[in-house]
């Protein structure tokens, strides 16, 4: 369905829902909908990103297919979110990454692996790559520190700039002024909602995922992915501080903060991504967007292999396999960073911005 058709369909179902209002207690979308009599494109894009596809309204709806009204809010909003990801991708030239995203992420990962191994083969001797290294700077004997830090610093700066650019574009094009995005009270409220995954608890019994039955599994696995990711970030930050401020280079002992945080984060990511992939395989496709499946799976698989390769590197870092595992892990992390603004990761940012707008609307009531 083309974007304009999708917007018309979203407007149609929201108009029916606004007359019905049966689902007003399910999530933040329906109370936000009730504040409006008509639905401009910017309102629909905001509401679509406020929806987290819990599917409660689909299974509860007396007008859902096969009823002639054909109301399927969960699917229309899932499709519209995908359109938003394309529309607000920056630079716009790269918006095509959202088409067949799973394939694009796969090609990107393969390209990162080939590049890292080519560079390793050109600039490092085989005996060094395949030797067992131990003690301080063991990793940097295989890949020198500047080759480690420079590309990743550039990647992190570009990644942050691109994500900020996309997010600000989304906020402005959905009717917000830049200063309002910094509203401290609304941000605090949104952070609280996001950290608790408030709307995935379905009022205490979970969402209707992967099928009609209520379940908290999606919320638990989502928490594992989210906090696992945060712990891995914390591990990298502490390691960087040790290296630069304490002149203490990696690798670190098993009972050190970088390793403890990274291990906990890696295990949480493994369990969370595996759990979400299993649920996705079992999910009822009708209230979802089939076109988004490749993107969802691609991102989860990439996250899974990022944590798997990191944990394997930790376990085998004193063996001759370390050089190859280090190269694989760096390539997968680089692919993850490059793919972040052009894949499922962006849902977290747009949803957060939608929660900020929602907090502002609620405080004005
Ligand atoms: S999804 Fe169906 S039941 Fe829920 S508010 Fe809309 S029309 Fe009513
Ligand atoms: S799918 Fe869930 S979050 Fe989305 S509109 Fe329906 S009830 Fe709300």
Q: pLDDT-based confidence at 1, cuts 50/70/90? A: low
Q: How far is the CA of 274 from the centre of ligand 2 (A)?
A: 24
Confidence check: pLDDT of 203 > 80? no
Q: What is the structure's pLDDT at 364? A: 85
Q: What is the structure's pLDDT at 300? A: 97
Same-domain check for residues 83 and 128: no
Kindly give the residue spans of alpha helices, DSSP state H, lying in the chain. Answer: 3-20, 29-33, 41-50, 56-60, 73-87, 101-123, 126-129, 138-142, 145-173, 184-196, 217-245, 257-282, 293-315, 322-339, 346-364
Question: Which residue owns the Cα nearest ligand 2 atom 3?
Answer: 51
Confidence check: pLDDT of 2 > 70? no
Same-domain check for residues 304 and 320: yes
Same-domain check for residues 235 and 196: yes
> Encoding tokens for residue 172?
């402005």
CB of 65 closer than 6 A to ligand 1? no
Q: How far is the CA of 57 from the centre of ligand 1 (A)?
A: 6
Atom of ligand 1 nearest to the CA of 18: 5
Q: How far is CA 13 from CA 48, 57, 62, 85, 343, in A?
A: 12, 12, 13, 21, 27
Confidence check: pLDDT of 302 > 80? yes
Confidence check: pLDDT of 133 > 70? yes
Local structure of 177: helix, strand or coil: coil
Backbone φ and ψ for 299, nearest 5 degrees, come out as -65, -45
CA distance 55 to 26: 10
Buried b (16+ CB within 10 A) or exposed e, 232-263: bebbbebbeebbeeeeebbbbeeebebbbbbb
* Angle, helices 293-315/217-245, rounded to nearest 10 degrees: 50
Same-domain check for residues 162 and 116: yes
Tally of domains within the chain: 2
- pLDDT-above-70 percentage for the chain: 99
CA distance 97 to 205: 36
Q: What is the structure's pLDDT at 224? A: 98
CB of 56 closer than 6 A to ligand 2? yes
Q: What is the mean pLDDT of residues 127-135?
A: 95
Q: How far is the CA of 355 from the centre of ligand 2 (A)?
A: 14
Q: What is the structure's pLDDT at 19? A: 97
Atom of ligand 1 nearest to the CA of 20: 8
CB of 352 closer than 6 A to ligand 1? no
Q: Which domain holds residue 24?
A: 3-87
Same-domain check for residues 226 and 266: yes
- Residue where one domain finishes, among candidates 36, 55, 87: 87
CB of 145 closer than 6 A to ligand 1? no
Name the average pLDDT for the chain: 95
CA distance 298 to 3: 23
Same-domain check for residues 62 and 122: no
Same-domain check for residues 329 and 201: yes
Same-domain check for residues 57 and 112: no
Q: How far is the CA of 353 from the centre of ligand 2 (A)?
A: 17
Question: Which residue owns the Cα nearest ligand 2 atom 6?
Answer: 57
- Residue where one domain finishes, among candidates 87, 120, 155: 87
Q: Taking the mean position of all CA atoms in its chain, how far away is CA 311?
A: 21
Q: What is the mean pLDDT of residues 115-120?
A: 95
Same-domain check for residues 183 and 299: yes
User: What dihedral do alpha carbons 331, 337, 338, 344 form, nearest 10°?
Assistant: 120
Q: What is the pLDDT of residues 40-82, one digit of tens each?
A: 999 999 999 999 999 999 999 999 999 999 999 999 999 999 9
Whether residue 288 contacts residue 255, with contact meaning beta carbons closer than 8 Å, is answered with no
Same-domain check for residues 51 and 178: no
- Residue where one domain finishes, among candidates 42, 58, 87: 87
Question: Which residue owns the Cα nearest ligand 1 atom 2?
Answer: 61
CB of 26 closer than 6 A to ligand 2? yes
Same-domain check for residues 130 and 113: yes
Ligand with the closest atom to the CA of 22: 1
Same-domain check for residues 250 and 188: yes
Q: What is the mean pLDDT of residues 294-308?
A: 97
């Amino acid at each position: 369905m083309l974007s304009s058709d999708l917007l018309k369909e979203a407007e149609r179902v929201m108009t029916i829902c606004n007359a019905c209002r049966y689902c007003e207690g399910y999530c933040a979308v329906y109370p936000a909908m009730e504040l409006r009599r008509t639905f401009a494109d910017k309102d629909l894009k905001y509401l679509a990103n406020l929806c987290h596809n819990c599917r409660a309204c689909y299974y509860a709806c007396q007008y859902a297919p096969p009823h002639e009204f054909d109301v399927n809010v969960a699917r229309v909003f899932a499709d519209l979110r995908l359109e938003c990801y394309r529309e607000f991708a920056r630079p716009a030239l790269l918006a095509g990454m959202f088409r067949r995203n799973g394939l694009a992420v796969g090609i990107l990962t393969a390209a990162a692996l080939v590049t890292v191994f080519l560079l390793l083969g050109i600039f490092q001797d085989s005996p060094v790559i395949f030797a067992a290294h131990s003690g301080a700077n063991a990793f940097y004997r295989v890949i020198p520190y500047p080759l480690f830090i420079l590309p990743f610093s550039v990647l992190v700066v570009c990644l942050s700039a691109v994500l900020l650019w996309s997010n600000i574009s989304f906020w402005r094009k959905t009717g917000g002024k830049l200063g309002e995005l910094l509203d401290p009270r609304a941000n605090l409220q949104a952070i609280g909602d996001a950290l608790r995954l408030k709307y995935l608890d379905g009022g205490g019994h979970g969402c209707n995922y992967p099928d009609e039955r209520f379940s908290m599994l999606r919320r638990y696995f989502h928490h594992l992915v989210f906090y696992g990711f945060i712990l891995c970030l914390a591990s990298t930050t502490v390691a960087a501080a040790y290296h630069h401020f304490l002149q203490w280079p990696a690798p670190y002992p098993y009972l050190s903060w970088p390793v403890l945080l990274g291990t906990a984060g890696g295990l949480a990511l493994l369990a969370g991504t595996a759990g979400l992939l299993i649920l996705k395989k079992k999910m009822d496709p009708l209230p979802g967007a089939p076109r988004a499946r490749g993107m969802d799976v691609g991102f989860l698989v990439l996250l899974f292999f990022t944590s798997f390769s990191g944990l394997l590197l930790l376990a085998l870092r004193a063996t001759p396999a370390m050089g190859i595992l280090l190269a694989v892990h760096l390539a997968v992390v680089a692919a993850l960073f490059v793919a972040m603004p052009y894949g499922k990761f962006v849902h977290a940012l747009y949803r957060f911005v939608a929660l900020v707008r929602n907090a502002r609307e609620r405080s004005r009531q």
